[in-house]
Structure 1
Amino acid sequence: PGFMGPYAPSNVLSACTLCNMMKGARRIQSFVEAARHITTFRTRDDFGSYPLRFRNNISKRSRSCYIAHSTTHTKTHALTNSAFNAIVARPCHYCGKASDPPRHHNGLDRLDSDVRVYTPDTCVSCCGDCNIMKYKWTETQ
């Protein structure tokens, strides 16, 4: 069995690929609260506020890390240092988690993962948890 225990009827439910990927290793309550928090932040309707469901990311990825990663994954990086720094300094586009160095650093997320270019118009500030939850889907999916 893995770190979450064996697959058993008491701890397994069906889930679509989107929900399964978004949930990742989170427990169901944590996943639901994170999704409710994002929905509240993005729509301004009140589904609950759960900011503690979003972990701190203490490792800061530099622009050069994105460039190095981009070249190995056929993406183009068209951001200047100042544009990159301005974007990652903003709160997370999806949940609102503020960048708070050195305690927490936001990174970049392409709004549409099919668009293979990082520009000020195609990417936003994103915390690590939201980046994992969004995965390869567009913002509206």
Structure 2
Amino acid sequence: MSPQNEEEEHVICHSLPCNIDYSGIAPVKSYLHPTTIDAPSTSSKVMACQFRGRGLLALHESLPPNLHGVVAETSNNTSQKEGKGQVKVMATFDSMCEWHHEHDVRRLTHESHVKEGSTLYRAQQWCDLASAIHDPIL
């Protein structure tokens, strides 16, 4: 990955409950206009918005200190001899919003305590597994 530079920006990662056939940076600010709502039973910020006419709720959570989020893009300058391309960091993030087709804040915050199904939890589990596989054996 290329070193950090002045061009990269700091963003919030949004995980939507649908499949969008697109890979890359999207102008999310043009489509999502979230508002913060009161949720006294959680330490996470609860957000609400609509996407294509559907109401969504999200928990805005910070990444754990051992995780750093990046949005990366591969360059087309792949060396044919080595078969390797450059990866450029386009943006970084330290928090994410995991959106749900949910309209009840109490249910959303209750389900947030069951972390096994969350995108952030699964990403952290994958990183822990990758670290265990690739760290040197002592």
TM more than 0.5: no
With structure 1 as the length reference, what TM-score do the two structures score? Answer: 0.21
With structure 2 as the length reference, what TM-score do the two structures score? Answer: 0.21
RCO (CA 8 Å, sep 6+): is it higher in 1 or 2?
2
Q: From the CA coordinates, give the structure whose radius of gyration is larger.
A: 2
Is the helix fraction higher in 1 or 2?
1
Is the strand fraction higher in 1 or 2?
2
